[in-house]
Amino acid sequence: MKPTHGLVPYTGIMPIELTLDHTGPMTRSVADNALLLEVIAGDDGLDPRQYAPRTAEYTAALRHDAGGLRIGVVTEGFGHANSESEVDAQVRKGVDRFAKLGAKVTEMSVPMHAVGAAIWSPIALEGATELMMKGNGMGTNWRGLFVTSLLDAHSTWRHRANELSDTLKVSMLLGHYFTKHYRGHFYAKAQNLSRKLREAYDAALADHDLLVMPTLPLKATPLPPADASRELYVQRAFEMIANTAPFDATGHPAMSLPCGLADGLPVGLMLIGRHHDEATIYRAAHAFEQSGDWRSL
């Protein structure tokens, strides 16, 4: 579960980009996930990203089935340039299972989703360069808990820069270039556009309880070989984020459920909910999980 931005305190974790950073539970079952979120969610008084977070008894949602839930299948979440047809097909099988469980499933469109990753990119590249790298993972201008030992340890990257991954080097170069030559203009524009993107999803969620799409457009890819080109390394790092990155920018809660196998590899179905409505995601996810072995879907 990637909860609503700021629901779970980020205290003690090295920030990457304060407006994108989320932390949440990863578990083997939906019930364990809901229980763990009950434990870790809420204001800790040390994380300024938290804006009066609203918590709930998430395990109570597991008592309800999926009957009557309105689920919107986002057209733009399918058919990306690098989407694998078997992944899209498997996710639609998962959507069909929700319909059999009594949910009202409708195909719908959020056109702005198609540019969500492009909105995320300047925020991630410029923001991470300034905070994570130049700011040694802590930066300035916020009142959160500064873990000085982590800051000191991370600052040594300057003396071992060649050990950084090719993807991080490329990200830093891009972030520095755009900040130097464009004064943070594109970071600022992307942050402004992220609010419009949030409004687009909120409008869709006004008529639907949940949105659904593939978590990733493709199955797990092979690790690049030791002699792989820099282009392949960078491709592997960023080729899977088209559906996930937008919800980091908007802060909506989202959860990935395994919904079958393609060539022996798991396929993920992503449920997206309204801000601070993790309970509805858990309700749908638990009903799906209890309806049968996902491997046989």
pTM score, whole prediction: 0.95
Six token digits for residue 198: 């949030």
Beta strands in the chain (DSSP E): 70-74, 104-108, 210-214, 254-262, 265-272
> If you compute the radius of gyration of the chain from its CA atoms, what whole number of angstroms results?
20
Tokens at 51, concatenated:
């804006």
Ordered per-residue pLDDT tens for the chain, 297 residues: 999 999 999 999 999 999 999 999 999 999 999 999 999 999 999 998 898 899 999 999 999 999 999 999 999 999 999 999 999 999 999 999 999 999 999 999 999 999 999 999 999 999 999 999 999 999 999 999 999 999 999 999 999 999 999 999 999 999 999 999 999 999 999 999 999 999 999 999 999 999 999 999 999 999 999 899 989 989 999 999 999 999 999 999 999 999 999 999 999 999 999 999 999 999 999 999 999 999 998
Structural domain spans, the chain: 30-114+193-296
Q: What's 30-114+193-296's CATH class?
A: alpha beta
What distance in Å separates the CA atoms of residue 247 and residue 14, rounded to the nearest whole number? 20
Are 84 and 219 within 8 A, CB to CB? yes
- 260 backbone dihedrals φ, ψ, rounded to 5°: 135, 180
